[in-house]
Amino acid sequence: MATPDNLILFEEDEARLAATLKRLTADAKGRATFLLDKNGRVITAAGETAGLDLTALASLVAGSAAATGSLANLVGEAEFNGLVLEGQRANLTITTLDHGLILVVLFDEKSTLGLVRFRVRRAAEEIGQAFVEIARRASRGPDQAATASQGGLSEITDDDIENLLKS
Amino acid sequence: MSFINYAAREINCKVVYYGPGLCGKTTNLQQIYAKVDPGSKGKLISLATETERTLFFDFLPLDLGSIRGFKTRFHLYTVPGQVFYDASRKLILKGSDGVIFVADSQVERMESNIESLENLEENLGDQGHSLDGMPFVLQYNKRDLPNAVSVSDMQAALNERSVPWFEACAAQGVGVFETLKGAAKLVLMDLKKKITA
């Protein structure tokens, strides 16, 4: 399923996804987990993220996933669902999900690839369900009441934009 | 595709620098990186060849400040300009909220500028988008070189849409921020329009 043109995430969405990632991190015995969009933007993360440059990590993972997807097409596959990067002390699994999402698990010798893959499958289902609801809400158009109650971005004026760019 | 995160109170937008090889896309990002306050920027990532030609992309995350209590974070990307890296260009272009086309003002590069602009239109078209419907600005770079084409000729060749354009000498940092601000303004205006639609 395609991602909506603009991804709008409310606090309850973030809390729900963060809870899923927290559980995944624990169940997979991972060091950290990250949910990104295919454009390399971090949606939420869990685990030992202090000291990690999440923004840089996300852009590189997204680039890598995009290149892997194109490689799949070149050899006649619709996509390669997963990518595993193995190092001496740290490993990454990069899994592309529906809705233009990428799920990343960082793990070390305390876990195994099999366990991570197994746990990722369940988390992917939960994340997918959450995004079905997010996409459904987006297809109904902006929820003005919700938007206003959570920040009032709809009230941005041209002056706000001019002032932001003055400095 | 912009990303509004109400939990983190952030607006994330993606802007792509496009243009022919050696026109100065990476130089734009390097100048921004060099001049912006350390608290407002992340790492500049360059996936380049050994000869410092962009292989996949350059990436610079940049905080422009807050608007209505929301941090505005721009993710700036460059594409590889060399003709044979078209597959990479397509990947980077996906999901962009705005495009800055960097044109090389040198007379001998005019054909490459036109070819690259046509390539941009074609790649956007393949993704179901069009330059007519998205925030788009032009930067006429390398204005300091003796073989630079006149601005009116650049306009005639490249700016049939009459989009905002900026003269620049990116290597000296001239015009770099003006171009970025011009694009950021269009991206935020476009976002506002989508939110309030």
* pLDDT tens digits, A15-40: 999 999 999 999 999 999 999 999 89
Interface test with B, best of A37, A49, A55 (most B CBs within 10 A): A55
Interface test with B, best of A21, A41, A139 (most B CBs within 10 A): A41
State whether residue A5 sits within 8 Å of chain B by CB.
yes
**Contact call for A38 and B14, based on CB within 8 A:** no
Q: Which residues of B touch A79 (CB under 8 A)?
A: none
- Test A165 with B64 for CB contact under 8 angstroms: yes
Give A7's strand partners: B3
Tell which residue, A36, A84, A33, A81, has the closest CA to residue A58. A36
Q: Nearest Cβ partner of A6 from B4, B6, B45? A: B4
pLDDT in tens, B96-142: 999 999 999 999 999 999 999 999 999 999 999 999 989 999 999 99
Tell me the chain B residues in contact with residue A151 when contact means C-beta distances shorter than 8 Å: 6, 9, 68-70
Q: Would you give the distance in Å from CA B142 to the centre of its chain?
A: 16
Lowest model confidence (mean pLDDT) among A12-21, A63-72, A83-92, B1-10: B1-10
Q: How far apart are CA B30 and CA B34, in angstroms?
A: 6
**Chain B contact for A9 (CB, 8 A cutoff):** yes
Give the model's pLDDT for residue A142: 55
Instruction: Pick A165's closest partner by Cβ from B88, B185, B197.
Output: B185
Whether residue A138 contacts residue A8, with contact meaning beta carbons closer than 8 Å, is answered with yes
pLDDT tens-digit series, residues A103-121: 999 999 999 999 999 999 9
Low-confidence winner among A70-84, B99-113, B140-154 (lowest mean pLDDT): A70-84
pLDDT in the model for residue A122? 95
Percentage with pLDDT > 70 across chain A = 89
Look up residue B138 and give its DSSP letter. E
| Cβ separation A39–B189 shorter than 8 A | no
pTM: 0.89
Taking the Cβ of residue A7 and every Cβ of chain B, the question of whether any pair is shorter than 8 Å is answered with yes
pLDDT band, very low/low/confident/very high, at A149 (cuts 50, 70, 90): very low
Give mean pLDDT, residues A154-165.
81
Inter-chain touch A9–B6, beta carbons under 8 Å: yes
Asked whether B29 and B90 are in contact (CB, 8 A), the reply is: no
Using CA atoms, how far apart are residues A4 and A12, in angstroms rounded to an integer?
Answer: 18
